[in-house]
Amino acid sequence: MRYLFLSTLMLFFLPACLHTVAHAEPCLEITLTGTMGGPPAVNGLAGAGTLVRYGDSSNNCSDLLLQFDAGRGTIMRLSELGISPLQLDAVFITHMHSDHIEGLAGIMQYRWHFFGGPLDVVCSADIAAAKPPPGRTMSCAAYLDHMGDAFIESGEIAQRHIENRKRDPAGPASVASLNAVGLPLPDRPGTVVWQEGDVKVSAIASQHIPGHLSYRVDSPAGSVVIGGDAGNSTAKPPRANSTSATVELLAKNADVLVHSVMHPVFAPGAGSKFPPLAFYRQSTATDLGAMAQRAGVQHLMFTHLIPALGAESHGPFRLPSGPLKQVDFESAARAGGFTGHIHIGTDLKTLRLPWQSK
Ligand SMILES: [Zn+2]
């Protein structure tokens, strides 16, 4: 009787299951986990970060979860997506600026506390910092080694280790599995730095501070480039534009380019006191529009907006003519000649590939 009941159930549900499997299409989903640019905090925006997830339509693109940069509050934004740090498969860091990495320590502490096991962290190998002064090193390895130091010194790590001896007394550093990308890299796309199944992540060196990397994810559902804070390798004008030639190569025919953006309103001489060095080492919205058009990109997704939307100032630097709106960034990108889709970043803005226009 029971057997008969089960057989009847299977007859009823099996066609439905097969139907679901047959229509599971690969998908790639890109979510901005933080869109704040630089050290200031404005309107509750989280620090820079992009979650790229790959899977298929039957599992909401959730076979692989890749986090690119992890600024302030990343763990909070992930929680709004229902994602815990234990679920991440790898973290990729563009560069050693606090607005891109200060949320990583929290992610790793969480993983350590709840026995998450090693997490791949991909970033550049040690490189001498710009001069002057000499003798400094930009070191992702040192950051990972020391990110739990305050909690070790405070006694917390030892105390929690005693509570549960499965926790490594070395603290969160013990769950970081460093994958250091040696520099220099070839100035052409194709250097694969991480791969899992059909998903391949490649990197290219780009200019901002020493050790800056930009990444590209290729998958059966599409491709996305994470430019980070890349700028032109010529530090200031005269130069053809403010964008990165290597990122342009990496972005060739990409479906999506996610990139930090600087609005021309902060250009030297335009009425703000924004530091020229900080302005020139980012890419402007207009030049990114032009670059995305040349590269054949379908979707240009701005993140790390400087200034933030609606902000009266960026840190101590006041906007000369009041807060900016989305349309100000969009029209700047259009002025550069971009004819594809423009997505102006706000926290948790999401784009799914294959793209379906509404
Ligand atoms: Zn930044």
Residue 338 confidence (pLDDT) above 80: yes
Q: State the distance from the centre of ligand 1 to the C-alpha of 38, rounded, in angstroms.
A: 5
pLDDT of residue 17: 47
Residue 136 pLDDT class (50, 70, 90 cuts): confident
Residue 6 confidence (pLDDT) above 70: no
Residue 323 confidence (pLDDT) above 90: yes
HEC string of 242-290 equals CCCHHHHHHCCCCCEEEEEEECHHHCCCCCCCCCHHHHHCCCEHHHHHH
Q: State the distance from the centre of ligand 1 to the C-alpha of 4, rounded, in angstroms.
A: 63
139 in Cβ contact with 131 (< 8 Å): no
Q: State the distance from the centre of ligand 1 to the C-alpha of 100, rounded, in angstroms.
A: 6
pLDDT of residue 358: 66
- 14-23, 41-50, 197-206, 228-237: range with lowest mean pLDDT: 14-23
Average pLDDT over residues 109-116: 97
pLDDT of residue 134: 66
Provide the β-strand partners of residue 313.
318
Q: State the chain's mean pLDDT as an integer.
A: 93
pTM for this model (two decimals) = 0.93
Q: State the distance from the centre of ligand 1 to the C-alpha of 8, rounded, in angstroms.
A: 59
Query: Which domains does the chain possess?
Result: 25-347 (3.60.15.10)
- Residues comprising the chain, all counted: 358
235 in Cβ contact with 281 (< 8 Å): yes
Q: State the distance from the centre of ligand 1 to the C-alpha of 297, rounded, in angstroms.
A: 23
Q: State the distance from the centre of ligand 1 to the C-alpha of 76, rounded, in angstroms.
A: 19
Residue 42 pLDDT class (50, 70, 90 cuts): very high
Provide the β-strand partners of residue 35.
none
